[in-house]
A and B are shown apart, each in its own frame.
Chain A
Amino acid sequence: MATPTSTPTSTAPETAAPETIAAAPPPPRYTEIYSSGLYRRRRVTNRAALTLSVTTMGIGIAFLLWILWTLAVRGIVALRPIVFLQSTPGPGSDGGLINAIVGSLLMIGAGTLVGAPVGILAGTYLAEFGKSGWFAEIARFVNDILLSAPSIIIGLCVYAVMVMRMGHFSGWAGAAALAIIAIPIVVRTTEDMLRLVPVSLREAAAALGAPRWKVVVLVAYRAARSGILTGVLLAIARISGETAPLLFTALNNQFWSTNMNAPIANLPSVIFNFANSAYPDWQKLAWTASLLITLSVLVLNIVARIVFRQQKAG
């Protein structure tokens, strides 16, 4: 990469050149040109722009550290064993988050179990069968829109389709919303990763007489395994922190419940309710819940990156 940020030093050898030519009126010395108005202006502009660029990078990193620091300081205060042993308390009493943790895990698990296979198969179609056909083009376009669509809209849709029909909020509705959010992420990574598998590998398998499905399942999937796993991990990370679609699908539940057919407690909703409450105990628990969620999401993200690096290496 060319980064001649140090223009002054690069001119040094050239200043010697005019002096070797004797006689004749000496051409303007390079240093004179260099310190004239135009050059100074360009140099100052450059310096200013690059300084600003470094500053923006600093701003970005500073916000990341600031948020993580806040979480660590405020979240650890209330992080005691009781958090993992008791359900969410009423105002003024002591309690933990176990019902919310279990509820979140149930919904994330169900959402992933539905979302990951659907996403992987749809991604397989785009990479292996559809390729550049018109349907694949449109499906790819739609998938990219879904990838960035506001999650609260997905919650609304699930509300209109499931909650209104069933007549009550439920864990299944929450899981459905999470699955819809997970699908486009898995589709996108699966397709990208399958496309990275060399065609010659597939051709070799086909030349040995393997039918198409065996080529895909036994060769392409196996070659892209870590990449596809990365997509699933990223999808889990994303749905772990999703709050908006759960607010009116799974709702919340103050008590221990593993009944997915009824409103169920979940960490994001607990954070939302407790943080907006007036009780200091609840706010403390909200910070602890935030710390738990953020830690797990960041760990998932980093694991996904490590797995992905293996994919690139292997």
Chain B
Amino acid sequence: MSAPASAVPVAPARQGGPGGPDSPDGVPQPFRAPAAAGGRAQRLADRLFEGSTLFFAIVVFSLLAAILLSLCWGSRPALHRFGFWSFVTSREWNPVTERFGALVQIYGTLVTSAIAMLFGVPISFGIALFVTELCPRWLKQPLATAIELLAAIPSIIYGMWGLFVLAPLLADHAQPWVTDHLGGWPLVGSLFQGPPLGIGLGTAGLILAIMVIPFISAVMRDVFETVPSILKESTYAVGATTWEVMSRIVLPYTRVGVAGGIMLGLGRALGETMAVTFVIGNAHELSASLFMPGNTISANLANEFAEAVGALYTSSLITLGLILFIITFIVLACSKLLLLRLKRMEGRPS
């Protein structure tokens, strides 16, 4: 091949096959030239592709930073005027005199979320127990999907349903009964007193409880399924009942993951906006009773932000958002860390 190769310019037609014109050294072009140039192009394409995926990963990463920075920036006027501590501890909220404080909203956010956890966690646990231990196999998937669809319903629908269906029902039937029977109790009695309005902190908490069920029960179900079946089977073999297996084996084994799931639900409940906005009553008053209207951070933002006039008013609302963001960030970070710990305990890649 070497001799004809030098002679190629003289007799180009000699080696020209169906593969097209050949390169000077006689190697058919389709195998040589494009590969050399293409190799460089491919390397460039590789770098471009990896670079662009990295770029968008950084974009996602910086979204969080952007949210935090923009909230901090927006809250400066209010924090400058009131100071963080007095803003958090003041219960005054008066757009006319431009005095703002966050105590009522923070209280409402915490109380409604606490009620949501009080009802939501046991129900979610029961559902997870049913799906993992009791349910016939053919029913498992449909039921799990049905519960997950609860999470798919938009929150504004929960709000409308709460306002037009649940609230009248509670006002007519549940609240008078509860006031009669529990209102006189020492310590907790004051929680259940007040006019049966139907809307208020308690109703908001109940709706939140329904909304967090799918999130908590999904996590619980997943972590329950990670319990090695040999552990469960050996406990059954020594004569334990289903409940004993659940409470003494499964729950202790998965408690970190269960805590993570509860935190996830709590994070959702704290930040939930539209469902609460409909039924909270939007009252800037601190009241001990769960039947009285109140406010939460998110509901306050939804109700007033678009109509807020004046830099200080807007800034105070953004400060509320900042507080909510910090609270939910801490709760969600705890949830994530707990769930990661469970995965590491299992020795599975996260």
Which A positions have Cβ atoms within 8 angstroms of B? 1-5, 7, 42-43, 45-46, 49-50, 52-57, 59-61, 63-64, 66-67, 70-71, 74, 118-119, 121-122, 124-126, 128-130, 132, 135-136, 138-139, 141-146, 148-154, 156-157, 159-161, 164, 180, 183-184, 187, 211-214, 216-217, 237, 240-244, 247-248, 251, 268, 271-272, 275-276, 286-287, 290, 293-294, 297-298, 301, 305
Judge whether B298 and A60 touch: CB under 8 Å.
no
The CA of A294 and the CA of B153, in the complex, are separated in Å by: 6
A275/B278 in contact, CB under 8 A: yes
Does the CB pair B71–A56 fall under 8 Å?
Answer: no
Q: Is the CB of A247 within 8 A of B302?
A: yes
- Which residues does chain A contribute within 8 Å of B302, judged by CB atoms? 152, 244, 247, 272
Q: How many residues of B contact A (CB 8 A)?
A: 98
Q: Is the CB of B274 within 8 A of A149?
A: no
**Nearest residue in A to B126 (C-beta to C-beta)?**
A56
Q: How far is the CA of A41 from the CA of B338 in the complex (A)?
A: 35
Return B315 CB to nearest CB of chain A, in Å.
Answer: 10
State which of A180, A211, A298 has its C-beta within 8 Å of the C-beta of B152: A298
User: Is B7 at the interface (CB under 8 A from chain A)?
Assistant: no
Q: A125-B53, A244-B274, A271-B160 are in contact. List 19 more A-B contacts (CB 8 A).
A: A3-B133, A54-B134, A55-B126, A60-B146, A61-B146, A64-B146, A70-B161, A70-B165, A118-B60, A124-B53, A139-B57, A145-B332, A153-B71, A161-B66, A241-B154, A243-B154, A244-B298, A287-B160, A294-B154
Does the CB pair B336–A144 fall under 8 Å? Answer: yes
Which 9 pairs from chain A and chain B are nearest by CB? A241-B154, A150-B271, A56-B126, A125-B53, A46-B241, A213-B49, A211-B42, A244-B273, A49-B243
Known A54-B134, A56-B127; contact A49-B63, beta-carbon cutoff 8 A = no
Among B148, B163, B274, B277, find the residue whose CB has the most chain A CB atoms closer than 10 A. Answer: B274
- Min distance, Cβ B325 to any Cβ of chain A, angstroms: 5
Residues of chain B contacted by A159 (CB below 8 angstroms): 305
A63 to B, closest residue via Cβ: B210
Given contacts A136-B57, A248-B305, contact A2 B229 (CB under 8 A): yes
> Digit string of B318-350 for contact with A (CB within 8 Å is 1, else 0)?
100100110011001100100000000000010
Q: Does B156 contact A (CB under 8 A)?
A: yes
**Interchain CA distance A50-B242 in the complex, whole Å:** 8
B133: A residues at CB distance < 8 A: 1, 3, 53
User: Number of contacts between A and B (CB, 8 Å)?
Assistant: 281
Known: A53-B134, A150-B324. A71 touches B273 (CB 8 A): no
Chain A CB within 8 A of B257 CB: no
- B267 sits at the interface (CB 8 A): yes
- Most B CB contacts (10 A, CB to CB) among A74, A146, A156 go to A156
- Mask for B121-145, Cβ within 8 A of A = 1, else 0? 0111111011101110100000101
Q: Which residue of B lies closest to A74 (CB)?
A: B164
A54, B239: Cα distance in complex, Å: 22
B149, chain A: closest CB distance, angstroms: 6
From A151, which residue of chain B is reached at the shortest CB distance?
B273
